[in-house]
Amino acid sequence: MSSGGGQRRLSDLLSAVPRASVGSSLDTTLAADEELLVPRLVARIAELEEKLYSDSAGHTAGAVADGGLLDRFGGLLKRAQQGIDAGISYVVGDSEAQQAQLSAVTKEATAKALLITIKKLQGLKAEKQRLEEAAASLELELESARTALHEAQAAASAAAEAEAAARAATTSDAQEAAAQAAAAAEAAAADRRALADATAALEALRVEAAAAQADGAEAQQRVEALGGQVAALQDQLAAAHSAAAELQRQLDGSRTECEALQARLAQADEEMAGERAEAEALRGARAALAQELNETKSRLERAQAAAEDFQRRFLQERLERRKVHEQLQVLRGNIRVCCRVRPCLSAGAGATAATAQQQSSVSFPYPGSLCLHATERRQQEFEFDSVFSGDSSQAEVFDEVWPLIRSCADGYNVCLLAYGQTGSGKTHTMMGPEQDPGLSVRALQALFDITATEAEGGHRRTISVSMLEVYNEALRDLLAAGAEAAKLDVSAMGAGQLAPGQERVPGLTWRAVGSVADVLAVLAEGSRNRATAATSMNAHSSRSHALLSVRLTDEDGQSSVLHLVDLAGSERIAKSEVVGQQLKEAQAINKSLSALGDVIASLQSKSGHVPYRNSKLTQVLQDSLCGSSKVLLVCCISPEAASAQESLSSLNFASRAAQVELGPIRKANEQGTPGGAARRQPASGPAAGQSPLTPGALAAANGARSKLAGTPQSGLKQPRSALRDANAH
Ligand SMILES: Nc1ncnc2c1ncn2[C@@H]1O[C@H](COP(=O)(O)OP(=O)(O)OP(=O)(O)O)[C@@H](O)[C@H]1O
């Protein structure tokens, strides 16, 4: 195989390099030697190449087959460079400057040759593709050649056989056959040469294909490197995807949270709108309420003005009413007397009115009159301010009393006295049974009612009560704790002489009461104490005078007193025929009742001296038995005929009391003390001249009473001795 067959020598390459492209430096520095040096250099390179190729003729084919084209050319260039360096050194000798210049020129030329080689390589790559395709077709051709070779070999064998046969047969035939065999052998030799050429070409193509494969491997490495980069980029892309997914998830969460917040915001907006509406409604309601409040204030102011006007008119009316009431009381007299006849007990509980009347010694000819049938032939008629028969009720009796209770609330001292023989109904009238209370409880109820009504108008007062018993001319406090404490005495001061705050009965217990229940409790306590004392003294309650006193105290300290007196029985001693203790009791009772009669008679006669001190009873009551007080004497009568004389005595006593005029009316506090006695004027003397009733009016009133009574002896102006006689009788 020729060394320059498929390869071009470096000297050829250098020869092919244009002279201009070798470099201007070579032209300038070696211009003089150019014609000489270049041919020598080229020849030297050719020599070296020839040597190189001769040394490595067999090796080159293997190297080409084993290595890549670049390696092969690199090695060739390196070795060529070495040859060139050696050639230069050979040409220029030891001149370093020339060696350097030549080396530079050579290197430049070598580089240019290398570039050309690279371009050649690129052309070879394209040629490789073409050769691979050609190799494929050559493979086919090779296969067909092999087939032809086999056929040729078979033909040669056949020719040899034919030649041998021919030799054996005939010479001509043998020659012809030999010629044919020679031709066949020639053809077979030609075929073998063609086959060898095809094999060589195929081998060269394989070498180039291997080089191309090496290039492909390098490209594959780059592809793999690029694949690694791509994988890394894919990892980064996957990480970016993962981060993006995470960000998306966070974004979704934030979006959900944002939507929830928006929903809450919308809800809050709705709530705020509702609250705004509610606030608006409340503002409207407040405005309405404010308007209503203003209207209410206006109404309240009008109501207050009306109330003040009402109160003013009420006070004015009260003053006028009191004035009228007092005028009425003056017309009626300061001592009023009424008579109450209890039912006839001897007729029995189921007796008819007619039967009771048959057994009764009392009749009622006219309203306010009473006729006592002492005997069949003697009857006596009496006239009082009021007369109540046996079928009268407690309420009817209280109607008579009510004006006095009103007067007490207006500031006057009042005394209610129940007078009569034992069993005539005094206690029933004053106290009464629980289910049908008498004057005391009703009077207190009325006082509570009046006080409550006046409190609404700003007039406030307190009410207190005391309970006192006069027994055998001794005073006992029925509300005191012990027996010693119960022993009391009455002040010796006369009417109108008590200092302010001084008590008529010092040490007497007063209990504040605010209701009827309080009063009933106090009465129960007093009754128990009275019963205990009566038992210890072996005495009956009817043998003592019982005083229930009620004190009304205003806020300014002014007060008035109401005495409710249940007097002891007024039996005549001669009739009772009692002795011993009972006689003593009877004498004490007589004494006190006589003293009461004397006081009334003195008041009636307008005597200068009123004998209050003749008994404890009159001493205690003196503040209510003087000119400025109001007295109601309730004469209780037993209707039985057997009691006629006692009834007559009681009626005479009551009649005389009815003649008494106590004098001008003044309020208790106008006299200076709670009892109204401190500066109270004497009942006699000036009182006569101060009476609101003129003598003519009194005479007319008395005349009218006499006329109504029809009997002169019912008399209204009986002498003082008659009262005393009535009690002593
Ligand atoms: N108006 C009346 N209606 C019905 N019963 C009466 C009436 N008055 C008195 N009585 C009855 O007559 C009886 C005697 O009455 P009472 O005890 O009140 O008399 P008195 O005068 O208080 O006697 P004493 O002096 O002994 O206390 C009693 O049983 C009483 O219930």
Residue 612 sits in a domain of what CATH number? 3.40.850.10
What pLDDT does 221 receive? 82
| Cα Rg of the chain, angstroms | 84
Instruction: Decide if 246 is inside a domain.
Output: no
- What value does the mean pLDDT take over residues 477-504? 78
Which of 338, 342, 389 for mutating ligand 1's site (highest number of atoms within 8 Å of CB)? 342
Question: 190 C-alpha vs ligand 1 centroid, how far in Å?
Answer: 189
Higher pLDDT, 366 or 245: 245
Give start and end residues of each alpha helix (H) in 333-387: 353-359
Buried b (16+ CB within 10 A) or exposed e, 188-221: beebeeebeebeebbebbebbbbbbeebeeeeee
The whole-angstrom separation of Cα 463 and Cα 447 is 9
Nearest CA owner, ligand 1 atom 11: 425
pLDDT for residue 669 is more than 60? no
Angle 691-329-648 from CA coordinates, rounded to 5°: 95
CA 552 to chain centre: 50
The whole-angstrom separation of Cα 59 and Cα 268 is 96
Higher pLDDT, 383 or 156: 383
Task: Return the number of other C-beta atoms located less than 10 Å from residue 727's C-beta.
Answer: 22
What pLDDT does 408 receive? 92
Which of 428, 527, 640 for mutating ligand 1's site (highest number of atoms within 8 Å of CB)? 428
CA 642 to chain centre: 82
The whole-angstrom separation of Cα 174 and Cα 185 is 15
Q: Render pLDDT for 139-190 as a digit per residue (tens, 0 to 9).
A: 787 788 778 778 877 877 887 787 677 566 555 655 676 687 688 778 878 8
Instruction: Decide if 239 is inside a domain.
Output: no
pLDDT for residue 4 is more than 50? no
The response to whether residue 639 sits with its C-beta less than 6 Å from ligand 1 reads no
The count of domains in the chain is: 2
Nearest CA owner, ligand 1 atom 9: 425
Nearest CA owner, ligand 1 atom 27: 542
Q: For 433-469, what is the HEC assignment?
A: CCCCCCHHHHHHHHHHHHHHHHHHCCCCEEEEEEEEE
Instruction: Decide if 495 is inside a domain.
Output: yes
567 touches 620 (CB < 8 A): no
Instruction: Decide if 448 is inside a domain.
Output: yes
The whole-angstrom separation of Cα 181 and Cα 710 is 217
Last residue of a domain, one of 160, 190, 220: 190
| Minimum-distance ligand 1 atom for the alpha carbon of 428 | 18
* Token reading at 320: 């006028």
Tell me 670's DSSP state. Answer: G
What pLDDT does 663 receive? 53
pLDDT for residue 122 is more than 70? yes
pLDDT-derived band at 40 (thresholds 50, 70, 90) equals low
Q: Return the amino acid letter for 528.
A: R
What pLDDT does 268 receive? 93
Last residue of a domain, one of 190, 222, 246: 190
* Token reading at 616: 């404890």
Question: 342 C-alpha vs ligand 1 centroid, how far in Å?
Answer: 7
Nearest to 557 by CA among 462, 493, 478: 462
What pLDDT does 606 receive? 73
Binding residues for ATP: 420-427
Share of the chain above pLDDT 90, in %: 23
The whole-angstrom separation of Cα 375 and Cα 350 is 26
Buried b (16+ CB within 10 A) or exposed e, 325-338: ebeebbeebbbbbb
Domain that holds residue 463: 398-728
CA end-to-end span of the chain: 204
Please state whether 425 falls in left (phi above 0), alpha (psi between -120 and 50) or beta.
Answer: left
* Max mean pLDDT range (135-149, 379-393, 602-616): 379-393
What pLDDT does 340 receive? 96
The whole-angstrom separation of Cα 675 and Cα 671 is 9
The response to whether residue 476 sits with its C-beta less than 6 Å from ligand 1 reads no
Instruction: Decide if 262 is inside a domain.
Output: no
Instruction: Decide if 418 is inside a domain.
Output: yes
The response to whether residue 461 sits with its C-beta less than 6 Å from ligand 1 reads no
Which of 427, 548, 592, 643 for mutating ligand 1's site (highest number of atoms within 8 Å of CB)? 427
Q: Render pLDDT for 631-657 as a digit per residue (tens, 0 to 9).
A: 899 999 999 888 888 899 999 989 888
The response to whether residue 428 sits with its C-beta less than 6 Å from ligand 1 reads yes
pLDDT for residue 77 is more than 70? no
E strands of 389-479, at which residues?
A: 414-419, 461-471, 474-477
* Token reading at 432: 């009464």
Instruction: Decide if 332 is inside a domain.
Output: no
The whole-angstrom separation of Cα 625 and Cα 413 is 9
Average pLDDT, the chain: 74
The response to whether residue 680 sits with its C-beta less than 6 Å from ligand 1 reads no
pLDDT-derived band at 486 (thresholds 50, 70, 90) equals low
Instruction: Decide if 342 is inside a domain.
Output: no
The total number of residues written for the chain in this structure: 729
The response to whether residue 543 sits with its C-beta less than 6 Å from ligand 1 reads no
The response to whether residue 440 sits with its C-beta less than 6 Å from ligand 1 reads no
